[in-house]
Amino acid sequence: MSNNKEHSNPIRKSNIGNFLKEILTGEFFSNRFLLKQTGVIVFAVVLAFIYMNNRMICEQSFKEIDQLRKTLANEKYIAMITESQLLHISRIGTIQELVKSKQLNLIEENKPAYRLKMTKEE
């Protein structure tokens, strides 16, 4: 049994050694098998580049989406503050206080507003 292990081990080492030698010397790239598979290898490399490019574009898009979401949240907050300020200013009590503080001689009308109807005469 030890003879089988001794014989298989040098063969295995020589196969790995030959394979490494073929890669380092460039003989591996001139094999017929490899030459037949160049189309598949080129296709795989092109797919790898497309995958990497697509991933980079997706990451940039996600970063932009996150930035736009933060901007939208800030703008909503500003709009809410502005709306509440405008609602406060447009209240009747606030308007009356402003008229009194500016000393404008405006009087609030007690009668409701009405429309004038005009007929078109030819």
- 53-103 confidence digits (pLDDT tens): 999 999 999 999 999 999 999 999 999 999 999 998 888 888 888 888 888
The reported pTM is 0.48
Residue with tokens 């040098």: 10
Q: What is the pLDDT of residue 10?
A: 57
Q: What DSSP state is assigned to residue 29?
A: G
State the sign of the Cα–Cα–Cα–Cα dihedral 17, 21, 24, 27. negative
What percent of the chain clears pLDDT 90, i.e. is strictly above it?
A: 39
Q: What is the pLDDT of residue 1?
A: 46
